[in-house]
């Protein structure tokens, strides 16, 4: 995991303000969602919050040896 950037946090918040699941929320327009998200990010940063973002998941790889790892 790594600290999330302010832009990543704002993008996630703006998306959450515009959508509920995959359904678009009509009462929140794009500009207002982004303004709100940016203000929330600034407040979280000023309050000392550190948000973490997981690295993209990678497909599990097969073991490189033919040895059985089970006892």
Q: Can you give the pLDDT at residue 19?
A: 85
Domain boundaries, the chain: 2-46
Per-residue pLDDT of the chain (71 residues; tens, 9 = 90+): 889 999 999 999 988 888 877 787 776 688 888 899 999 999 999 999 988 988 887 655 655 555 555 54
Tell me the C-alpha to C-alpha distance, in Å, between residue 55 and each of 2, 20, 24, 41: 7, 24, 27, 20
Q: Can you give the pLDDT at residue 56?
A: 80
Q: Can you give the pLDDT at residue 41?
A: 93
Q: Can you give the pLDDT at residue 29?
A: 80
Tell how strand 2-3 and strand 52-53 pair up: antiparallel
């Amino acid at each position: 995991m790594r600290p999330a950037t302010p832009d990543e946090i704002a993008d996630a918040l703006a998306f959450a303000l515009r959508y509920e699941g995959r359904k678009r929320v009509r009462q929140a327009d794009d500009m207002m969602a982004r303004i709100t998200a940016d203000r929330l990010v600034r407040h979280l940063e000023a309050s000392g919050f550190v948000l973490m973002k997981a690295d993209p998941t990678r497909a599990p790889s097969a073991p490189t040896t033919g040895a059985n790892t089970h006892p």
